[in-house]
């Protein structure tokens, strides 16, 4: 793993995952996420633990969309794109998504497909591409750091679901 892969706020998520190579972290987590998400199928996934909080399904959907966005950023940065990438408002994204209208099984399939895409790219990035650094939200990051961020962010929300919803 390269040094200085991420700055600031996102280091919280990265600190949650082991120091295995990023490809191994993402691959190992794939089965754990699928198993955990499948265990939620028989719950009321549109329920929340408190008013104005996301539902179980919204948390899962947020994880999926965040992974897609981070993968998009990783692809652009890996190609040497030096454009400062824009941030996004996760609350607005979830609010506008109409997750309550989605079948939870469809979300599980979307997660599976999303992680497969993530693994495809991270399995094919060269070390040079993993080391490439880009910028968004005023922070510098490299592609490898984005992979750890994807895994750490997912782990964070699994912990939130376990602590507050189950």
Backbone angles phi, psi at 6, to 5 degrees: -155, 150
* Pick from 39-53, 57-71, 135-149: least confident: 135-149
Looking at residue 8, what is its pLDDT?
Answer: 65
- Whether 2 maps to a domain, the answer reads no
Looking at residue 12, what is its pLDDT?
Answer: 76
Instruction: Give 117's Cβ-side CA count (13 Å radius).
Output: 17
- Whether 46 maps to a domain, the answer reads no
Looking at residue 27, what is its pLDDT?
Answer: 95
Residue 91 has pLDDT above 50, yes or no: yes
Residue 16 has pLDDT above 90, yes or no: no
Domain count of the chain?
A: 1
One-letter-per-residue 3-state SS of 43-78: CCCCCCCCCCCCCHHHHHHHHHHHHHHHHHHHHHHH
Instruction: Give the confidence band of 74 by pLDDT, cuts at 50, 70, 90.
Output: very high
- Whether 19 maps to a domain, the answer reads yes
Alpha helices in the chain (DSSP H): 11-14, 22-39, 56-78, 90-97, 104-124, 127-131, 143-164
Looking at residue 1, what is its pLDDT?
Answer: 42
Instruction: Give the confidence band of 6 by pLDDT, cuts at 50, 70, 90.
Output: low
d(CA 39, CA 60): 12
- Whether 90 maps to a domain, the answer reads yes
Looking at residue 9, what is its pLDDT?
Answer: 67
Mean pLDDT of 3-21: 71
Opening angle at CA 129, ends 139 and 119, nearest 5? 95
Opening angle at CA 135, ends 134 and 138, nearest 5? 160
Query: What's the CATH code of the domain at 101?
Result: 1.20.120.450
- Whether 128 maps to a domain, the answer reads yes
The SS3 assignment for 139 reads strand
- Whether 94 maps to a domain, the answer reads yes
- Whether 123 maps to a domain, the answer reads yes
d(CA 11, CA 154): 14
Its domain, for residue 137, covers 8-40+52-164
Instruction: Give the confidence band of 11 by pLDDT, cuts at 50, 70, 90.
Output: confident
> pLDDT higher for 68 or 88?
68
* Whole-prediction pTM: 0.92
Looking at residue 92, what is its pLDDT?
Answer: 94
Residue 2 has pLDDT above 80, yes or no: no
CB 38 within 8 A of CB 109: no
Output b/e per residue, 38-71; b: 16+ Cβ within 10 A: eebeeeebeeeeeeeebbbbbbbbbbbbbbebbb
């Amino acid at each position: 793993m390269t040094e200085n892969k991420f700055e600031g706020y996102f280091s919280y998520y990265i600190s949650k995952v082991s120091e295995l190579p990023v490809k191994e972290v993402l691959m190992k987590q794939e089965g754990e996420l699928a198993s955990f998400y499948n265990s939620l199928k028989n719950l009321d996934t549109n329920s929340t633990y408190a008013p104005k909080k996301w539902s179980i399904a919204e948390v899962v959907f947020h994880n999926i969309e965040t992974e897609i966005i981070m993968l998009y950023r990783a692809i652009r940065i890996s190609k040497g794109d030096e454009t400062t990438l824009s941030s996004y408002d996760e609350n607005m994204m979830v609010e506008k998504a109409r997750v309550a209208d989605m079948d939870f099984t469809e979300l599980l399939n979307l997660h599976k497909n999303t992680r497969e895409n993530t693994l495809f790219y991270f399995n094919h990035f060269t070390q040079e591409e993993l080391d490439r650094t880009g910028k968004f939200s005023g922070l510098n990051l490299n592609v490898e750091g984005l992979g750890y961020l994807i895994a750490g962010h997912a782990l964070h929300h699994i912990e939130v679901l376990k602590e507050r919803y189950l």
